[in-house]
Amino acid sequence: MELKYLKLSQLSCDENQIRRKGHCQADKDDDLESLAYSIKEVGLVNPLVVKALGEDRYQVVAGERRFLAAQRAELESIPCFVLDKSEEALDYQLAENFHRKDLDPLAKAYVVQLLKKRHVEDQKVAKLLGVSSATITQWTKILGVPPKYQQAIVDNFNDKSKSPLTVGHLAVVAVKGITKEQVNEILDLVIEHQLSRDKTEQLVKLLKSDPALNPQEAFKKLLSMQLDAMGGENEKQSREGDYRKRFVLVVPPNLPPEPEKQEELRLKFSEHLNRLDNEIQRLFNTSLNRFIRGE
């Protein structure tokens, strides 16, 4: 398999590709527009896989959406892996590429996808690559999320400081009982609050245990549970008792740098102010804001 830069005019899609019928040729495709914008800004991150059709003509084997997005981005040429004429060597070439240390997760997912098209059964693909069937399923989940999350996973692979999102997060999020809309919301929370894989798994368990919750509500509940655990059982009993005791807010000297800890502190302040508002309402029959203003 040779890496070449080919002009877009040299490439064409496979007209028998079922996935693209009625979808990729739609006049309006927000995901494709988003991918085109990303490609225009940073270039094509992962090469296409193509096969030669004749003199200076090639057909896209893997990466059709990236090809269509590159067309929308009006690129002149893009990187492509050109398959050898010998189809017998293809499996070994793909397996070898899969285990390259510099091959990012999205590129590996396309290798798995290509092998699955050739062999269908996950077990056979797993044997070719020397991994478990569960690993095959995990890698292909990358292809089921929108491009911005795919890019976030690639960013994490290249530089962990740029993104917290990993293939491991998809393994615990893209599961039975969690809708695609919820998956996207959870992945947004992972990126915004730098959630670890374990915290993300706890969030998913909360959602599955209480279907009435949305991901934002489940995240707030998770933070509240963690704060309760930090506060200790005595504080919890005091808070839930019929009588009221003095409550203290412990303020750190500086705002912690971690977004997750900042959110925990913000929630703690919010709870403290709500409790203070309740006590002022009970004792003075007025709100906290009016009490501060002396009204």
Cα 71 to Cα 288: distance, rounded to the nearest angstrom:
59
Residue 30 lies in a domain: yes
Domain that includes residue 257, residue range: 244-293
Residue 210 lies in a domain: no
Residue 27 lies in a domain: yes
Nearest to 116 by CA among 103, 131, 128: 128
> Domain boundary at 26, 55, 84, which?
84
Q: What is the pLDDT of residue 19?
A: 41
Structure tokens at 74: 């009006």
Burial of 173 (0-12, 13-18, 19+ CB in 10 A): buried
Structure tokens at 46: 């992962």
pLDDT over 70, % of the chain: 82
pLDDT tens figures, 33-64: 888 888 888 888 778 888 888 888 998 877 78
Residue 225 lies in a domain: no
Residue 287 lies in a domain: yes
Residue 136 lies in a domain: no
Structure tokens at 79: 């990187």
Averaging pLDDT over each range in 105-109, 129-133, 257-261, which range is the top one? 105-109
Residue 126 lies in a domain: no
Contact 45, 106 (CB under 8 A): yes
pLDDT tens figures, 150-159: 999 999 998 8
For residue 11, give the CATH number of its domain.
3.90.1530.30
> Domain boundary at 37, 54, 84, which?
84
pLDDT bracket for residue 169 (50, 70, 90): very high
Residue 42 lies in a domain: yes
**What strands lie across the sheet with 57-62, from one edge to the other?**
2-7, 77-82, 48-54, 57-62, 11-12
Q: What is the pLDDT of residue 231?
A: 58
Cα 151 to Cα 110: distance, rounded to the nearest angstrom:
14
> Domain boundary at 40, 59, 84, which?
84
Number of domains in the chain: 2
